[in-house]
Chains A and B, each alone.
Chain A
Amino acid sequence: MFPSERRSLTRFLIIYIGSTLLLIAVGLAIFYQYSFHKLIDHQNENLKFKTDTLIPQLRTIHQSSDKILYYPVKKDMQSAVYDIDLNYLIGDFKPKVLKINEEFWRDKEYLYYTTNVSPHYIGAAYLISRTKLNISPVIELREKIIFFFMISALFVSLIAYWLGKLFLFPMKNALSILDNFIKDTTHELNTPVSTILANTELIKDFYPRLRESDELSRIEIASKKLSRIYDDLAFLKLNHKRHRNSKEIDFSKTVQERIDYFSIMAKVRRIELKTDIKGKIKLYMDMEDASKLIDNLISNALKYTKPNGKVWVVLTEKFFCIEDNGIGIDPKDQKTVTKRFFRANSSEGGFGLGLSIIEEIIKYYGFKLDINSCPDKGTKVTVLWEK
Chain B
Amino acid sequence: MGKIGFLLIFSVMFSFATGDVLRQCNLCHEKKSPPFNMIYKKYLLIYSSKKGVEKAMTDFLINPTLKKSLLPKEMKKRFFPQEHPKFKKSEAKKAVKKIVEEYDLIKRIKIIK
Residues of A whose CB lies within 8 Å of any CB of B are 61-63, 65-71, 73, 83-85, 87, 89-92, 119-125
Contacts and interface: CB of A to CB of B under 8 A. Distances in A.
B106 A125 contact: no
B109 to A, nearest CB: 5
Contact of B52 (A70, A71, A84, A92): A84
B26 interface: no
Contact of B109 (A63, A83, A120, A122): A122
8 contacts: A62-B105, A66-B108, A84-B47, A84-B52, A85-B49, A119-B45, A120-B46, A123-B48
A119 B41 CA distance: 11
Interface string B86-113: 0000000000000000000110111111
Contacts of A125: 48-49
User: Majority SS of interface residues in chain A?
Assistant: loop
B49 to A, nearest CB: 4
A61 B105 contact: yes
Contacts, number: 69
A123 B44 contact: yes
A120 B48 contact: yes
B3 interface: no
B29 interface: no
A261 to B, nearest CB: 105
Interface of B: 37, 41, 44-53, 105-106, 108-113
A119 B45 CA distance: 5
B109 A90 contact: yes
A89 B47 contact: no
A84 B49 contact: yes
A122 B105 contact: yes
A61 B46 CA distance: 16
B26 to A, nearest CB: 17
A73 B109 CA distance: 12
A67 B49 contact: no
B109 A92 contact: no
Contacts of B49: 83-85, 87, 123, 125
Contacts of A87: 49-50
Given A71-B109, A123-B106, A83 B48 contact: yes
A62 B108 CA distance: 11
A62 B45 contact: yes
Nearest to A89: B106
A315 to B, nearest CB: 99
Given A120-B47, A120-B48, A62 B41 contact: yes
Nearest to A86: B49
Contacts of B44: 62, 120, 122-123
Given A120-B46, A124-B48, A61 B109 contact: yes
Contacts of A62: 41, 44-45, 105
Nearest to B42: A119
A68 B106 CA distance: 10
Nearest to B44: A123
Given A119-B46, A120-B48, A123-B106, A92 B41 contact: no
Contacts of A120: 44-48
Given A61-B105, A123-B106, A90 B50 contact: no
A70 B109 contact: yes
Contacts of A84: 47-49, 52
A91 B113 CA distance: 11
Given A62-B41, A90-B111, A119-B46, A69 B105 contact: yes
Contacts of A73: 111-113
B51 A68 contact: no
B111 A68 contact: no
A63 B105 CA distance: 10
A73 B110 CA distance: 10
Contacts of B47: 84, 120
A309 B94 CA distance: 122
Contacts of B109: 61, 69-71, 90, 122
Contacts of B113: 73, 92
A92 B111 contact: yes
A70 B45 contact: no
A123 B112 contact: no
A68 B113 CA distance: 16
